[in-house]
Structure 1
Amino acid sequence: MIVALLNQKGGVGKTTRATHIAGELALRGQRVMLLDADPQGSALDWTQRRSQQRLPRLFGAVGLACETLHQEVPDLARRCDHLVIDGPPRIAALARSALLAAERVLIPVQPSPYDLWASAEMVALVREAQVFRPALQAAVVINRRVVRTVIGREAHKALADQPLPALRPEVCQRIVFADSVAAGRVAREVAPGSAAAREIGVLVDELLRGQP
């Protein structure tokens, strides 16, 4: 599976989701590669933090923030079971290259009107890519949902008019995620029985069920 996490809006939690998806797959015994396509390099920073903590490597990671990354991905994908791409915000050319490389695209969206409106640009890029690659699968995933709020409860309803489907699993705003990023770990390592760890597990289950 080659899955890309993309959104033209920054601050939606792409990198946290990308590292957690890659980590969950790795903890299930899969060979995983994380491709950091964001010039900011936050995913690589996470792997460096893990190394500084003298933790064993969960998965391979490479930085490739260039407009030709789709030409490099096939060779990288042959070396692993799953390749996870952490895409950049606000750089359409890099996003297009990631779309050419991916089999599945997840668009993390926070449940707020502003984020839903901002996702329209990414949806347009996906639709453009699907003209050339009809097999490309894409879906919105609700991310950083604040529990016990009206807007959180109605997030799926708000997405009903979007042209792309929304995955049923949601990931909430939880302290465990912030703690895990600071420690260079994933939620299942920091708090194995936590709601955060369960949410990532359910999300990965959903991804694997829809694997091409």
Structure 2
Amino acid sequence: MILALLNQKGGVGKTTLALAVAGEWAMQGRRVILVDADPQGSALDWSEMRAREGLPRLFSVIGLARDTLHREAPALARDADLVVIDGPPRVAGLMRSALLATDMVLIPVQPSPFDGWASAEMLALISEARIYRPELVARFVLNRCGARTVLARDTAETLADHDPPALASRIGQRIAFAAAAQSGRIVRELDHESVAAREISALAAEVAHLGSPRSAS
């Protein structure tokens, strides 16, 4: 399966979620490749930090920030159980290429009306990609949710009736993600029983279930 995390809006946590999900799957024994398709190269920076810390490699991180991604990603998928694409903000050509390459796209949004409005362009690109990839699965994922906030609840309720809908799994606003990233780790390595680690585990499981042939829609 090829999974892409995409949103035209920056700062919604695409890289954090891409690394966390890739790491979760890798620690389950799956062969994972993460494609850093963001010109900023944050996932590559994380991989270099991990190497400097002397930590074993969890998964491969490859820089492919170019609009030929749809031609190159399928070849990577032959060498891995899962390919995770960390997409760019505001680069339409790269975004289109990533959408044509992927089986499933997750759109991270924060519980804010501004994030919802900013997603309109992303949804237009998904509709365009489905002309060529009608089987493309798309879901919103609520990220950086404050605990029990009315805004997070209202955003989740709004997206429940949306097309695409939101995943049931939500990710909280937790300093564990920043602490892990700064040391080239994922949250499960810091504390596998933490709330953050459990949230990522639930997210990865839900995505894997959606990506199965019987569940995808």
TM-score bracket for the superposition, by shorter chain length = over 0.9
User: Unaligned 5+ residue runs, structure 1?
Assistant: none
Structure 2 counterpart of 1:29? 29
Q: Which amino acid aligns with 2:204?
A: V
What is the CA deviation profile of residues 97-143 of structure 1, one whole-angstrom value per residue up to 9, with x for unaligned ones?
00000000000000100011101111110011111111111110101
Q: Distance in 2 between matches of 1:46 and 1:99?
A: 24
Structure 2 counterpart of 1:4? 4
Q: Distance in 2 between matches of 1:105 and 1:28?
A: 22
Q: Which amino acid aligns with 2:12?
A: V
Structure 1 runs, 4 residues or longer, greater than 3 Å off: none
**1:27-106 correspondence runs (5 A):** 27-106=27-106
Sequence identity percentage: 58
| SS of equivalent residue, structure 1 residue 76 | helix
Structure 2 counterpart of 1:127? 127
Structure 2 counterpart of 1:137? 137
What is the CA deviation profile of residues 48-71 of structure 1, one whole-angstrom value per residue up to 9, with x for unaligned ones?
110110000000110000011111
Q: Distance in 2 between matches of 1:87 and 1:19?
A: 12
**1:140-151 correspondence runs (5 A):** 140-151=140-151
Deviation, structure 1 residue 165 = 1.2
Q: Distance in 2 between matches of 1:208 and 1:67?
A: 26
What is the CA deviation profile of residues 147-189 of structure 1, one whole-angstrom value per residue up to 9, with x for unaligned ones?
1321122221132453211111001110111110111100100
Structure 1 counterpart of 2:152? 152
Q: Distance in 1 between matches of 2:205 and 2:98?
A: 23
> TM-score, normalised on structure 2?
0.95
Q: Distance in 1 between matches of 2:128 and 2:165?
A: 16
Whether 1:174 aligns to 2:169 is no
Tell me the number of residue pairs that the alignment of Structure 1 and Structure 2 aligns. Answer: 212
Do 1:50 and 1:183's aligned partners in 2 also have CA atoms closer than 8 Å? yes
Deviation, structure 1 residue 146 = 1.2
Aligned-pair Cα RMSD in Å: 0.9
Structure 2 counterpart of 1:165? 165
**Larger strand fraction of residues:** 2
What is the CA deviation profile of residues 8-30 of structure 1, one whole-angstrom value per residue up to 9, with x for unaligned ones?
00000000000001000000000
Q: Distance in 1 between matches of 2:132 and 2:22?
A: 27
